[in-house]
């Protein structure tokens, strides 16, 4: 597989490193509007060609797949351009900034018989894959209740740097700089964590968003600090379960932690995925009577990068697919509807 890396920001390093380690993959080209950045990236990873525009790269065309690591706001335009040129696409999350665009991307890839997959990175967590097998195998019975959280602490701690002075963090707090806050940044991850592990889909969702005061006038330089930094959701699922999902950047003591608890009528499981390791805990069988929890050892799993290469080789899309990501985007779109919007929609419905 000959791969073009589109965008050479920080996440592009993970793509280049992982893809270059897979047998049969050639890093054929790299694209970035900044000539010095793309040349340095090309040299670092031994990439054949460097371009400052996607148009130029597609005109050259000596590649069959694209890793799209551009900013969220241009995933749609750049991916559509690549699909129309007959290239398979591995896109960073979120697939698009709204459900309509995400669905068009999925429809276009499928109609052209091209592989369209999304880098929902926590699919690489072996404990998540093992948890799904427990659910689909019936070991915990019928799922009744779900708890999930994605907690970060970079607004109160400096393990990732000083957010008040670094643009890579400030833009994530500003709507006019393209941020949909915590919901847009990590919401897709925790929702995918939930629906994948429990083998279900989201039926209904209600969400509250909040941006806390962070500076005088909630402004630092050109950045208005108005994007949400916490959210809480109540969710119903197509398998009949109810759940609560929440996330915050104010979670002191939690660098980067996803946690999922799934309660069934035969047993329960809990995944803890932290920056320093992961665990899968279960309460099954006779242990249900004594509320005894045990840790399960799990085997390593293939990464999204490996699955994308496999999908291109087979000529069929594997998960996580564009269509799956589009469904998640629909849930996120619904989560952004404010209470006043809901009342307005309800009033319109009543009047109709």
Q: What is the 3-state secondary structure (H, E, C) of 56-120?
A: HHHHHCCCCEEEECCCHHHHHHHHHHHHHCCCEEEEECCCCCCHHHHHHHHHHHHHCCCCEEEEC
Least confident interval from 152-161, 177-186, 259-268, 278-287? 177-186
pLDDT band at 168 (very low <50, low <70, confident <90, very high): confident
Among residues of the chain, what percentage have pLDDT more than 70? 96
The answer to whether 112 and 344 have CB atoms below 8 angstroms apart is: no
Q: Work out the angle at residue 246's Cα, subtended by the Cα atoms of residues 125 and 299, and round it to the nearest 5 degrees.
A: 10
**Helix, strand, coil proportions of the chain in percent (round to 5)?**
40, 25, 35
pLDDT for position 347: 41
Task: With residue 150 as reference, give the H or E element that holds it.
Answer: strand 143-152
- Rounded mean pLDDT of 259-273? 98
- Rounded mean pLDDT of 97-123? 97
Least confident interval from 106-115, 163-172, 308-317, 343-352? 343-352
pLDDT for position 340: 46
pLDDT band at 250 (very low <50, low <70, confident <90, very high): very high
For the stretch 192-242, pLDDT in tens is 999 999 999 999 999 999 999 999 999 999 999 999 999 999 999 999 999
What is the b/e burial string over 146-161, where b = at least 16 CB atoms within 10 angstroms of the residue's CB? bebbbbbbbbeeeeee
What spatial distance separates the first Cα and last Cα of the chain, rounded to whole Å?
Answer: 55
In terms of Cβ atoms closer than 10 Å to its own Cβ (0-12, 13-18, 19+), residue 218 is middle
Half-sphere exposure in the Cβ direction for 22 (13 Å, CA): 22
Q: Per mean pLDDT, which of 37-51, 159-173, 325-339 is the most reliable?
A: 37-51
pLDDT for position 300: 92
Cβ neighbours around 138 below 10 Å, total: 11
**pLDDT at residue 351 is higher than 50:** no
Alpha-helix runs per DSSP H in the chain = 10-20, 35-45, 54-60, 75-84, 99-111, 126-136, 167-170, 181-198, 287-290, 304-314, 322-335, 339-351
pLDDT band at 10 (very low <50, low <70, confident <90, very high): confident
**pLDDT at residue 352 is higher than 60:** no
**pLDDT at residue 345 is higher than 90:** no
Kindly state the DSSP code that residue 176 receives in the 8-state scheme.
G
> How many whole angstroms from its chain centre is CA 272?
17
In this prediction the pTM is 0.90
d(CA 102, CA 235) in angstroms, rounded, equals 22
């Amino acid at each position: 597989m000959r791969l073009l890396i589109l965008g050479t920001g920080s996440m592009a390093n993970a793509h280049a490193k992982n893809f270059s380690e897979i047998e049969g993959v050639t890093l054929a080209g790299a694209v970035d509007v900044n000539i010095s950045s793309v040349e340095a990236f090309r040299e670092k990873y031994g990439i054949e060609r460097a371009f400052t525009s996607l148009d130029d790269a597609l005109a050259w065309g000596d590649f069959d797949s694209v890793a799209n690591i551009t900013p969220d706001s241009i995933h749609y335009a750049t991916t559509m351009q690549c699909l129309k040129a007959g290239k398979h696409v591995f896109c960073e999350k979120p697939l698009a900034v709204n459900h309509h665009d995400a669905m068009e991307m999925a429809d276009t890839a499928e109609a052209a018989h091209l592989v369209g997959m999304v880098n929902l990175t926590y699919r690489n967590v072996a404990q998540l894959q093992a948890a799904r097998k427990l659910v689909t195998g019936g070991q915990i019975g019928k799922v009744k209740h779900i708890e999930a959280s994605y907690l970060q602490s970079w607004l109160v701690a400096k393990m990732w740097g000083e957010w008040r002075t670094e643009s890579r963090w400030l833009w994530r707090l500003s709507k006019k700089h393209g941020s949909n806050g915590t919901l847009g940044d990590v919401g897709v991850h925790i929702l995918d964590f939930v629906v994948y592990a429990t083998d279900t889909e989201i039926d209904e969702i209600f969400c509250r968003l909040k941006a806390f005061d962070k500076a005088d006038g909630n402004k630092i330089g050109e950045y208005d600090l108005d994007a949400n930094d916490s959210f809480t959701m109540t969710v119903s699922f197509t398998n009949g379960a109810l759940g609560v999902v929440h996330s915050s950047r104010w979670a002191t003591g939690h660098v980067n932690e996803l946690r999922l608890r799934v309660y069934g009528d035969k047993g329960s499981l809990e995944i803890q995925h932290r920056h320093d390791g992961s665990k899968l805990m279960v309460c099954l069988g006779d242990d249900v009577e004594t509320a005894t929890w045990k840790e399960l050892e799990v085997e390593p799993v293939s990464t999204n990068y490996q699955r994308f290469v496999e999908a291109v080789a087979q000529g069929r899309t594997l998960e996580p697919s564009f269509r799956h990501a589009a469904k998640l985007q629909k849930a996120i779109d619904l989560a952004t509807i404010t209470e006043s919007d809901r009342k307005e929609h309800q009033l319109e419905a009543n009047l109709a």
